[in-house]
Structure 1
Amino acid sequence: MNTVSTPTAIKPVDFNTYEKVDGSLVFPELYSKGEVQITRRKFRHQNCVDSNPDYIADEMLLRRALAWWFGLPDPLGFAGETGSGKTELFYYIADKLNEPVYLLQVNGGLMPEMVEGKTSLAQGETVDEMGVVPHAYKHGGLILLDEVDKANKALQSWLHPVLERKPLSLSLTGELIMCHDQTRVGLTANTFGQGGSERYSSSNKLDDALRARPGWLTVKYPEPSVLRNIMAKKFSMIPAGFRKKMCQVALEVQKVTENEDSELSAIFSTRTLVKWGQTMVAFGLNAKVEESLDFVSRGACDPDDWESLQAIYQRILGEDKSSTVGDVLKKYTPVKK
């Protein structure tokens, strides 16, 4: 007898389903097996973002951020120098917890109507498309307001109900959106919104209510041991002795420029250090070390301070600065016995 099979209906995935897993499987750098249970989304959402596989989180900062994630309703702000890993830490946590991320890159020209959404034409009909912030506010996920201290006054006013988890009215559609119970709001900034920064001149003063709503954590450049581990993971082809010198360059510039009133105006972040390694490899063995170093740092230093920055490079690198990459690799590669 012939039988005809009927296709089985595919059940849609409920991304708001959660599971408990051993903390050591999610954050092995923090927890040992059996120490704690972590609640996370069971299924990975299409808006999840893969974090940097070489990222190494500061342990205490990660612990504080997770305490916020699982226990506090208010937004969390990370403030710190450019390239210190503020956005990467949010990505890292969300990635581990299968949390969708909705990124809004804030700039001085971003207006509320641009954030709410847009009207587009689809199959001859006009369709209102909700922006990422209202979408996440309504359906849940991590809203990440990147460089929020660049926000103009109009956008600051619009963000108030988002940070306070109050009903959000959209002028585009007239819809009144309620905050989803699994919506979290993260912010990054170079300043605490006080305005008047000479180093970050495009940062605006945030109104007092907006500044006061989030809890703030300061993100500093990694400790020397963490920095060396980052470089070791990414650049095993560079001998450890010279990787150590590369880290010393970054650490010394950071030390000299840590205060805004420093006589030297330059930025040498972890991001800059990693770019130096990548550029050194890309330029090849015949290029001088100083070529890749100047390439990644020239634009982050005021012209009047370039000679002072070069003096730091010379003091730490010595003759290696003007040597070829090939010669430096030979010099620092241990001789096999």
Structure 2
Amino acid sequence: MFKRDQALAVRTIFNLDVPVEVITTGFSDTNNPHVPKINEGYIFRRETLRDILSFLDDPDEDGLFFAGHYGAGKTTLPYQVAARLSWPIQSLTAHSRLEFDDLMGTWKLVNGVMEFLHGPLAIAMREGHLFILNEIDRTDPGQLAGLHDVLEGHPLVIATNGGEVIRAHENFRFIATGNSLGSGDSTGLYQGVNQLDIAFMDRFRVVEVQYPTEDIEMAILEKKTPDLPEEIRKNMIKVANKIRNLFIGGEEVATPLTITMSTRALCRWAKLTLVFRNAPNALSYALNQSLLAKAEPEQKIAIEQIAKDVFGENWTQKDAA
């Protein structure tokens, strides 16, 4: 029987300054191929970690919905928690053509024989894995109606496979991520985001994930690029936060941004600055590869100006990195 059988100290496995007696529970089997890989450079945030551990310990027939802007870390969090708890994951990224059968399973021709292949939701319910449905608000809300019963603890009935009944394993958990809070995109930044049924959203605990704080990103960059001067890392984070404020509407400007700098892009910028340290302008060259090449011309100019203003004379110095 697949059981949570391993007591783990939160202080140790998540590297957080919490009392040593704070314990969570994971699995002793670390060889399951569906357990994600640990990213040693990942920095956990106390509040969001508390929310997901509370849910994993006792979902009480709820799902967990992480909402936030892209690049805020809402998807990486459950994967890295599962990696440290050795909790296997089944996942799927939603899209406008997703059908409920994609979650349950379909009949397919395998080596000349028709076989029923169970989908990620069915496998997760049967085996006791975490099921993560990414970008859930890009799905047709009508296709999500079939999840109502599952989220309430009822079995999954697969009519197309002879009425197969799959009862949820005690370790099954349902986690969703989205760029909205389920009420549609009011910002105009995310094409294809749908308004989800209020009855469906009532089945979730909702956690808003913000971009990491400056001290968290400093710790991330220190792990990722310890050879980069501290002042350079601080200025990179300042640039990232100014870009984010323009992206989410935190400032009134003539050129609002439709592109932002995720923590992933920030780390890329820092690492490539070291890689191209001998370029005439390593900071600018690395920023272009990390973010600007994907921006519209006028937005590229605006972001470059932000970086120049923040870095000052260091922006054009060859040895800035």
TM-score of the superposed pair, with normalisation by structure 2: 0.89
Deviation at 1:59, TM superposition (A): 0.9
- Residue 308 of structure 1: aligned partner: 302
Counterpart residue type for residue 24 of structure 2: I
Unaligned runs of 5+ in 1: 1-13, 330-337
- Deviations, residues 4-30 of structure 1 (Å, cap 9, x unaligned): xxxxxxxxxx53351334444433415
Q: Is the 8 A contact 1:195 1:203 kept in 2?
A: yes
> Which moves more between the two structures, 250-259 or 280-289?
280-289
- Residue 56 of structure 1: aligned partner: 43
**Aligned-residue identity in percent:** 27
> Which moves more between the two structures, 179-188 or 163-172?
163-172
**Quick one: distance in 1 between partners of 2:10 and 2:49?**
13
TM-score of the superposed pair, with normalisation by structure 1: 0.85
- Residue 25 of structure 2: aligned partner: 39
- Residue 290 of structure 1: aligned partner: 284
The answer on 1:179 being equivalent to 2:159 is no
The answer on 1:215 being equivalent to 2:205 is yes
Counterpart residue type for residue 215 of structure 1: R
**Quick one: distance in 2 between partners of 1:23 and 1:239?**
31
Q: Is the 8 A contact 1:147 1:190 kept in 2?
A: yes
**Quick one: distance in 2 between partners of 1:55 and 1:77?**
21
CA gap of 1:90–1:262, structure 2 versus 1, over 3 A, is: farther
CA gap of 1:208–1:104, structure 2 versus 1, over 3 A, is: same
Equivalences for residues 1-337 of structure 1 within 5 A: 14-16=1-3, 18-33=5-20, 35-44=21-30, 45-73=32-60, 74-173=62-161, 174-197=163-186, 198-259=188-249, 263=253, 264-265=256-257, 266-288=259-281, 289-298=283-292, 301-324=295-318, 327-329=319-321
Q: Kindly report the root-mean-square deviation, in angstroms, between the aligned alpha carbons of the 2 structures.
A: 2.2
Deviation at 1:299, TM superposition (A): 5.4
- Deviations, residues 222-247 of structure 1 (Å, cap 9, x unaligned): 11111111001000121212111111
- Deviations, residues 274-333 of structure 1 (Å, cap 9, x unaligned): 121233344452252212212222255444433322221111122333343xx213xxxx
**Quick one: distance in 2 between partners of 1:129 and 1:282?**
45
Deviation at 1:262, TM superposition (A): 5.3
Q: Secondary structure at 1:328's aligned position in 2?
A: coil
**Quick one: distance in 1 between partners of 2:153 and 2:309?**
53
**Quick one: distance in 2 between partners of 1:123 and 1:202?**
37
Deviation at 1:143, TM superposition (A): 0.5
Unaligned runs of 5+ in 2: none
Deviation at 1:129, TM superposition (A): 1.0
- Deviations, residues 183-217 of structure 1 (Å, cap 9, x unaligned): 11111111112114401122111111122211111
Q: Secondary structure at 2:36's aligned position in 1?
A: coil
Q: Is the 8 A contact 1:75 1:163 kept in 2?
A: yes
**Quick one: distance in 2 between partners of 1:261 and 1:179?**
47
> Which moves more between the two structures, 16-25 or 80-89?
16-25
CA gap of 1:313–1:83, structure 2 versus 1, over 3 A, is: same
Q: Secondary structure at 2:48's aligned position in 1?
A: helix
Q: Is the 8 A contact 1:87 1:188 kept in 2?
A: yes
Counterpart residue type for residue 240 of structure 1: E
The number of aligned residues is: 313
